[in-house]
Each structure stands twice: as structure tokens, then as C-alpha cells.
Chains A and B, each alone.
Chain A
């Protein structure tokens, strides 16, 4: 009988300070997420320097609260996993430094986790992942299609050439003057409208790449032209047309990838996995194509350390380790 592995995960890549303890990569023992969203909302977006400052202020409290919640001590922890990138460098630095300090004092293995691997393994907290699979990663910073032959093996088959899908949502939200963070509100508004605006389907080619800047520009131009003509924009209709194009292209390319790679398992990962338009359409399509679809619970879609600890378990099992000289990286490839 193998011993249970308890990974303490630390995530600080953007504006959430989070610490979590996960058992065997699948059971959330305790998670604390301290979101700075209310602070950054005053500025209409995440201010990196403020985010870094808040991470330092809160890091020890979040670690302590997580252990208290789990009713565990550091002695019960097998290894420490931390997001080393990609993300805001100043924010990442706090989590990485904290993780290294813990690993040093308690003499625990330090496991470096790529933020996207974390988002992918959020799914393992919902349902044990089955391979091979195709992962669609959609967030404020990422839009990627990843083929996974096995645990902790990542082959990127496509990605965005410009804006990430979440970024496009937030920009459209700003154009139609929806407060930050506007993405989720645009999703909500789209259900109150109809697809009455003529927007292009973005980068509809044979690749698995995405491009959302053209769609974003089309929205800007449309709003501008309508205003020039003295027409008022129906925001709900615009949200609906925009969301429909996004969902159409994401599903079109993902379903083709599933067919091409002859894969029957699919997962969605990242903050935009909370988008109900995306969830609904993929649920429908996967059901009718015999594809087993997993989407993380809402609480694991946004940034959290639970997913880092879950991914950390599989990285740990694969023998991935970092030294006390681990560096935070703003940009880094998933491997």
C-alpha cells in the first residue's frame, strides 16, 4: 500500500494569493484563496505593483489559515508545489520565494508547476483524468489546445496568435462600458440578447490556432460606426453575437482536433471555463460525438492553489524537482 501524498500548493501568479493542501492529486483537503479583485476593480484592471504588494502582506496568513483549516502541520506535508510561471513576475516572485523558504526550513522537496498545468489538473479534482485527452485552456492570459498522451505530458497543438479569449471578453466589456472584470458580465448579457450583429468568425482556417484581435476590432468599429450614425447599440445583442462567434470557433477547432487525434476525452481549463456559453455548447457537442467531457467546478476555474497542488502531485510522481535557486518566469513554455 502506497503512502498518501500531501502536496502543499502555492499560487500567486496574478491577483489571488492562494495556498492549498491536496491529497494524492485528487482530494482537496483545504484551500484558502485571498482575492484582490475588489482592490484592482478601482483601477479597471490588475495593477501589477499593487498585486505584488498585497501578496507579501498576506502570504504568511494564507499559509497559516490553510494549515489550520486542514488541521495539519508542515510535518504532514510531503512536498511543496509552487507556480513558477507564467504570470506577473512580481506576483510570482512572492509565491516562489515563500515556497523556497518553506522547502528550505522544513527540508521538503520543491516541485515547480506551470500555471497552465495547474489549470488542466483542476479537472482531476472533479473527475480522474483519462488519457489520451485534448485540453482546451481558456483564460485571461491563455487560449491553447493541448494534446496529452499521458499524465504530465503536454503537446501544444495550437494557441492564440494575439489576444487570449478572456482578454477579448474584458476588452469588449470595456467597449460596451461594463465594469471590470467584465468577461463574466458579457457572458450573462449574451443570454438576454439575440445574434443580430454581423461579426466575422475569427481565424477560420485549417490550423488549431486562434485569433481574437480581429473580432475585437470588429466590435470596436461596429460600436464606433453605430455611434456616428446616432444609433444606440443593443449591448445584449452585441454580447450575444460576440459570444456566439467565440464559442463557434472554439468548438469548431476543438472538435476537429478531437477527431484528428482520435481522442475521446476532453477537458476545459482556465478562468473562461466558467463561461456558460462555452460550457453549454461543448457539453452538447461532446455528448453527440461520444466524447467524455470534464469541466472543473466553478471554484477551480479561476486561479487557485488547489489546482497547483493537484498538478504538483503528478509532477512530484514524475520526479520533477526544483532547487532553492528556482526562478519565477513571466513567460515560460508548458512542458
Chain B
């Protein structure tokens, strides 16, 4: 089975091509403000380096959030249009689960993305990437009960956070048999409504 893995949800991008549980191509790099123009050339380069084409891909695994709204949209748009083009389905996966592939000795792994004003996008996972607490938009302090037995993993400068070491293979192995989703139905999982929507809801209440 051939899988294309994409994560553009943060400034640290991952593109990987996996065949039968082996990584055939891996791009992991910090991309500061050029994500939109870099991604397609990187994917093209990836398929230049493997002995098959993008049309041979069986599944596309894409990180659909949470994270940078724009970043998430780049990956999800590529995944959707690619899946539509090669008539294959998509497995959307969580950016927080991907952070939680980082090796730690703790019982809990607490991946976090800074959402500012004391809030984070976070979840709690165990060593096998099982979800202990679902991904959500939550106050940093509200997760305190997990801190003693847990390690906080984040790309951002959050208190007590350890930098991630992303394990693509662990991610793909864990989720490759998830129910695939047809391209039209795959959407970003922002975990947060837009400010305009929030204000309108307050007004209508």
C-alpha cells in the first residue's frame, strides 16, 4: 500500500511517501512564510525520487488541523484536489496526534498549539496514540491534572513544553486503516469558529 502523508498545519511541514510500511521519501522542514508556494514543488520532487507516480497512491493521509488556518487549508486543498484527481480517498488526521508521536517516558503525552490569551489547542494521548482527552480549544491551566504524569509537546513557546520529534511512520501505522473519507467531505478541523461567527452567536443569544 502506498500512502502520501501531508502536514502543513504549522511552520514545520512534513511530506512523506510511504510504501508498505517503509518511508520512501521524507521532507521535514521549517517553512516560515512560503508554505503555499513550496508544497507542490516538494510533492513533485518526492515523486521524482520514488519508482512510482502520484497516480499509484492508494490513500492520502492529511493533517486537517488544528493549527494555522491558512496552513491547514493548503494541505487540505492539495489533499482534496489530489484525491479527486486520482480517484482515491483521504484519511484526515490530527496535528495534535502527530505531535504526540514524539517519544517520551510519560504516561500522558499532551500535545499543544498556542492559541493565545492563555488558550491552547490540545489533547491528551497515551503512548500508543490512543486519545485520553479529545482535541479541543481549552485554557492551558485546565489541563493541569495531566501535567504530573505527562509531557507537554509543542512547537510553540509554552510553559514546560518539549519540542516535538515527529514520527511519520508511527502516525501512518496508527491511522492507515481508519475509514477513508471521500474528498468532497474532507474539511479542515479548526476547532474554533471564526470571530465573526462567535460575535454573531453572542448577538443572537
Q: Which residues of A contact B41 (CB under 8 A)?
A: 323-325
Known: A90-B73, A101-B40. A60 touches B78 (CB 8 A): no
Contact: A93 with B196, CB < 8 Å? Answer: no
Contact: B78 with A101, CB < 8 Å? Answer: yes
Contact: A53 with B44, CB < 8 Å? Answer: no
Nearest chain B CB to A330's CB is how many angstroms away? 12
Find residues 72-121 in chain A having any chain B CB closer than 8 Å to their own CB.
Answer: 74, 90, 93-94, 96-98, 100-102, 104-106
Q: Which residues of B contact A74 (CB under 8 A)?
A: 85
Q: Does B188 contact A (CB under 8 A)?
A: yes
- Return the CB mask of A25-47 against B: 1 if under 8 Å, else 0: 00000000000000000110001
Nearest chain A CB to B191's CB is how many angstroms away? 13
Q: Which residues of B contact A96 (CB under 8 A)?
A: 36
Known: A90-B70, A102-B85, A105-B86. A50 touches B37 (CB 8 A): no
- Give me the 5 closest cross-chain CB pairs, A-B, nearest first: A324-B40, A101-B81, A105-B85, A325-B37, A97-B77
Number of chain A residues close to chain B: CB under 8 A: 33
Known: A49-B194, A324-B44. A60 touches B81 (CB 8 A): yes
Q: Which residues of A contact B168 (CB under 8 A)?
A: none
Nearest chain A CB to B157's CB is how many angstroms away? 25
Q: Does B82 contact A (CB under 8 A)?
A: yes
Known: A49-B69, A49-B194, A50-B194. A56 touches B82 (CB 8 A): no
* A1 to B43 Cα, complex, angstroms: 38
- Return the CB mask of B177-201 against A: 1 if under 8 Å, else 0: 0000001100110100011110010
Which range contains the number of B residues in contact with the other chain?
20 to 34
Q: Does B55 contact A (CB under 8 A)?
A: yes
Q: Does B38 contact A (CB under 8 A)?
A: yes
Chain B residue at minimal CB-CB distance from A42: B200
Contact: B200 with A97, CB < 8 Å? Answer: no
Q: Does B147 contact A (CB under 8 A)?
A: no
Q: A93-B77, A328-B36 are in contact. List 10 more A-B contacts (CB 8 A).
A: A47-B194, A50-B197, A52-B70, A53-B194, A56-B187, A60-B184, A97-B74, A97-B78, A104-B43, A325-B38
Find residues 1-48 in chain B having any chain A CB closer than 8 Å to their own CB.
Answer: 36-41, 43-44
Contact: B194 with A63, CB < 8 Å? Answer: no
Known: A53-B188, A60-B84, A94-B73. A105 touches B36 (CB 8 A): no
Contact: A101 with B197, CB < 8 Å? Answer: no
* A53 to B85 Cα, complex, angstroms: 21
Contact: B80 with A56, CB < 8 Å? Answer: yes
Nearest chain A CB to B53's CB is how many angstroms away? 9
Q: Does B97 contact A (CB under 8 A)?
A: no
Q: Does B54 contact A (CB under 8 A)?
A: yes
Q: Which residues of A contact B43 (CB under 8 A)?
A: 104
Which residue from B54, B76, B196 sits with its C-beta under 8 Å from A56? B76
Contact: A50 with B40, CB < 8 Å? Answer: no
Nearest chain B CB to A186's CB is how many angstroms away? 24
Nearest chain A CB to B56's CB is how many angstroms away? 12
The chain B residues found within 8 Å of chain A, CB to CB, are 36-41, 43-44, 54-55, 69-70, 73-74, 76-78, 80-86, 183-184, 187-188, 190, 194-197, 200
Contact: B69 with A52, CB < 8 Å? Answer: yes
- Chain A CB within 10 Å — which of B81, B82, B194, B196 has the most? B81
- 16 A-B pairs (CB sep. < 8 Å): A52-B70, A60-B83, A61-B184, A63-B84, A74-B85, A90-B70, A94-B73, A96-B36, A97-B39, A97-B81, A98-B77, A101-B77, A101-B78, A105-B54, A325-B38, A328-B36
Q: Which residues of A contact B196 (CB under 8 A)?
A: 43, 47, 49-50
* A328 to B190 Cα, complex, angstroms: 22
Contact: A57 with B187, CB < 8 Å? Answer: yes
Nearest chain A CB to B202's CB is how many angstroms away? 13
Which residue from A43, A50, A56, A102 sits with its C-beta under 8 Å from B188? A56
Q: Which residues of A contact B38 (CB under 8 A)?
A: 325
- Return the CB mask of A297-332 against B: 1 if under 8 Å, else 0: 000000000000000000000000001111110000
Contact: B37 with A327, CB < 8 Å? Answer: yes
- Return the CB mask of A149-166 against B: 1 if under 8 Å, else 0: 000000000000000000
Q: Which residues of A contact B55 (CB under 8 A)?
A: 105
* A328 to B34 Cα, complex, angstroms: 11
Contact: B85 with A59, CB < 8 Å? Answer: no
